[in-house]
A and B are shown apart, each in its own frame.
Chain A
Amino acid sequence: MRQAFVAALALSVLVGCTTARVEPEIAVFASAVRSNADRIAPMLEAGLAADRQLALREAARARDIWTFSDACPDVLLARNLDDGQNCIIEKLAVDGNPRSIGAATAIKRRLGVLADYVDALALLADAGSEAAVTNAYAAAVGSLGSLGEASGSDTLTEFVAGLEKNREKADAVVSFAIRTLRYNRLKSVVLKGDASVAEVVRSIQTGMINMNLDPEFSQLAANLNAANDAVLLAAPEIGDDEYRDLLVQLDAAHAQFMAYRQNSIYVQVGLIGSAHVSLAKALRTQSTEDVIAYLESLKSLAAKLEE
């Protein structure tokens, strides 16, 4: 009876709630974050340097106090017993004015938040946790068995024999419990994070547009807007050829923009948001149709990211 119960539990784990079910989504989300972070890093270099200059100017104007920390005198004499990382420059602001934060600095920090989030999800989805616990359990039972033999303790030997007999059941229950815990935590973290990821992604996009990291995107967008306005505002008295030219220009501007947008870093960053939406939807939904639909959309997303 109990064995059947355990088997049913194990089966329900396989069918319903394992993090394995959403592994492809997590992988796509993770690669969207990582590939973007790699691509953006060189674009931010100039901006980060400018942000540092700005921070220095503001610190100078406010007469901030900068001084090395208390750990430094010992470190300067190699007297420290630690790794010396406590020797830092303390930076004290002496005015109440809020300091400016540059766009590049904000983007870098926000990408860092997303990267930490991805790492945490990957760790949570890692089935290695079950193996670690069941292996440690097996080792503990084995060692206790050896101890029983070495000490000649019948009580311990019998106890271990009982443990050994129930090993499989115990492993199944332990794995089930851990898998369920991981799945539930993953689900709650992702569902709670969905709106936040969308907002952080959009703030990275608006920051990049403010920095004008992709001037061609903005130029092509402006061309399309202008061509669109031109058709709508065309005077009724203009000739057929002139109107025809406006139509041609609108079509061309649209084609150019649509062809370019896929490669724009602005759009690529947006894929982080859509990948997370798929992940959240996968965790929220139980319907097979939806599962197939998002797997398809993820496949095309993954293909785009690999380009």
Chain B
Amino acid sequence: MASHGLILALCLLVGYSVTTHAEPLDEPLKPLPAAPALDPKRVQLGQRLFNDPRLSVNNTLSCASCHRLDKGGADDKQFSLGFDGKPVEVNTPTVFNASLNFHQFWDGRVDTLEEQVHIVVTSPVEMGSDWKTVVKRIADDPGYARDFADAYPSGVTQPNIQGALADYERTLLTPNSRFDQYLLGNTDILTPREKFGYQRFKEYGCIACHQGVNIGGNMFQKFGVMGDYIQDLGNPTRADEGRFNITGDEADRQVFKVPSLRNVAVTAPYFHNGSAPTLERAVEVMFKYQLGREPLKNDTQLIVEFLKTLTGEWEGKPL
């Protein structure tokens, strides 16, 4: 008895928690990893650049103009407006957890966030600028010049601007979603309906594509496996050809990067063309064109409820 007390005291002394956590669940969906350790100076520079309209040719758009962190890391428009006020070709994907995607853009044209920065800054429909201009504007700002010199040996350069932005984006993770807590073993956090929703998510085969740490974002898939959604929607555009525009491979027609479902509840509208205004509609489209299934009554709603548990936190507040 005395020895038990002693062990308990020792355990308390060394801070050993006697309340055992449940084991993390082994599911095809994986919990969000921790944010990487990066140079805070660079991350801070990235944050400033992210909110700096000088990146666009006419000083009208910053990254944050379309990727609004208070709106799920995107905007609520079907198509965001470029520097010239004209809508861009595809719906703005969220910047949150973008670093966990295996490629960037709907058509997956680049592998890294740095390259993504380059494409957006120089895109004639997005920021419409060029690096010479951007680097000059940033370098001419004494505050930037000083802080860049502090964070990078080479000071203000194109790669350093790209790097700072990419580093900042790598910190834009949304931890602590209820579903992540569930995956980490806190199974009581989900309501029975949400658990049912997850079960339906798996049963119907959503999980075939939306899996992994980012619940998607790790493969390409044809949009319209079981039917031609784009045809049915009408008015097909060049952007609807998806990855074909990059590879020129017939097999890549209407193939897109499977988007992450994290924070999906707060990133409407949906799909590359923003054609689904609500989550319910998106789920229905998926059922019909991707899964080729007829959901039973209520199952769509259950899945939507499950999807809402995927909303994480940014700066300690739910998105």
Q: Do A and B come together as binding partners?
A: no
User: Which residues of A approach B to under 8 Å, CB–CB?
Assistant: none
User: Which residues of B approach A to under 8 Å, CB–CB?
Assistant: none
